[in-house]
Amino acid sequence: MNAVLIAVLVMLILSVVRVHVVLALFIGAIVGGLLGGLGLDGTMLAFQEGLSGGAQIALSYALLGAFAMAVASSGLPNLLANW
């Protein structure tokens, strides 16, 4: 079976049993890398390089989510809806 397919199945199973998404992603990446023949060092290096490319976008989404929660918690949407 393909290492990528097994890694995705591991992530899906971990998500179904309610493991945190980031932890499921990390474990799935390690399983996929090891089954793909990269070894632990190669797997971690590939994982780090993949994360560094999307870090700026992920940070933007995280800040946007925090801003959205702050606005929602402030009561401003209800105030505008009732105005």
Does residue 18 register a pLDDT over 90? yes
51 vs 18: which has the higher pLDDT: 18
The 3 state secondary structure assigned to the chain is: CCHHHHHHHHHHHHHHCCCCHHHHHHHHHHHHHHHCCCHHHHHHHHHHHHHHHHHHHHHHHHHHHHHHHHHHHHCHHHHHHCC
The structure's pTM equals: 0.61
Render pLDDT for 19-72 as a digit per residue (tens, 0 to 9): 988 899 889 999 999 999 999 999 988 888 877 777 778 878 888 999 999 998
